Amino acid sequence: MAVMPFHLAIPVDSLAHAREFYGELLGCAQGRSSEQWIDWNFFGHQLVTHLVAQMPSRPTPNEVDSHAVPVPHFGVVLAWDDWQQLADKLTAAKTHFILEPYIRFKGQVGEQATLFFLDPAGNALEFKAFKDLGQLFAS
């Protein structure tokens, strides 16, 4: 089965802030939009930010590799060098990380680079990379 882009719709409390964050900071191309939503090319996937009057509850932490990981969260797996470039860009932009860029499961099966942060509406994002992409689903 061919891997196809995913579609994810998330709530936001400001489309202007979504444009700044997803369009300017993350560099996602904007697609169709209305006064209530914006389509984004989110690293080859379709992300839609929908304007809501009130945001749902904030993500709750869950322990992974001795770190508090926000649940729910979403993101993408990037190539190692692309992940490092994004981590550097976010650090230079003084992004407040929930989990600063680090190597998770170091020396173990599934070793990966990861980082977590919130968008302006409080949605949690994770970006990760594997030196060996073949370990993405390793157990």
Residue 17's CATH number: 3.30.720
Q: What is the pLDDT of residue 98?
A: 95
The model's pLDDT over 8-50, given as tens digits with 9 standing for 90+, comes to 999 999 999 999 999 999 999 999 999 999 999 999 999 999 9
| 33 and 73, same domain (yes or no) | no
Report strand pairing: 45-51 vs 7-12.
parallel
| Contact by Cβ (8 Å): 115, 127 | yes
Tokens of 58: 């904030």
The model's pLDDT over 84-139, given as tens digits with 9 standing for 90+, comes to 999 999 999 999 999 999 999 888 888 999 999 999 999 999 999 998 998 888 87
Q: Give the total number of structural domains in the chain.
A: 2
| 40 and 96, same domain (yes or no) | no
Give the C-alpha distances (Å, rounded to integers) separating 37 from 18, 33, 84, 106: 10, 6, 30, 40
- Residue 124 domain-assigned (yes or no): yes
Q: What is the pLDDT of residue 9?
A: 98
DSSP E strands, the chain:
7-12, 29-33, 37-42, 45-51, 60-64, 67-71, 74-78, 97-104, 112-118, 124-129
